[in-house]
Amino acid sequence: MSGPADPREPGPADPLERHAALWRGAEGPSRWVIWHAGDGEDIVFDRELNVPADIEDAELAEVVRRMRRAGVPESDDYPGRPC
């Protein structure tokens, strides 16, 4: 019998599968970061495109939870480049 499933892996009917790259990144510097933008607001930020990731409000808490579980970096400072 195999061990427990990897919690970063979605179930067969996981509606968040389209966001899986946010918590299953490549080795090296993370493209995405959880940015604590203030007033308790967490934003998933894409450092490659230098913009917030497009995540539905209803899905944001679960996406951030999965990203934290996977060890995605978090920052209180603006994570992007100057515009």
43 is written with which tokens? 């934003």
Residue 9's region, left for phi above 0, alpha for psi from -120 to 50, else beta, is beta
* Model pLDDT for residues 41-70, shown as the tens digit of each residue: 999 999 999 999 999 999 999 999 999 999
Rounded CA-CA distance 10/65 in Å is: 13
pTM over 0.75: no
Does 2 have pLDDT greater than 70? no
59 is written with which tokens? 């899905």
pLDDT of residue 1: 44
Rounded CA-CA distance 46/66 in Å is: 16
Q: Name the phi and psi angles at 33, rounded to 5.
A: -140, 150
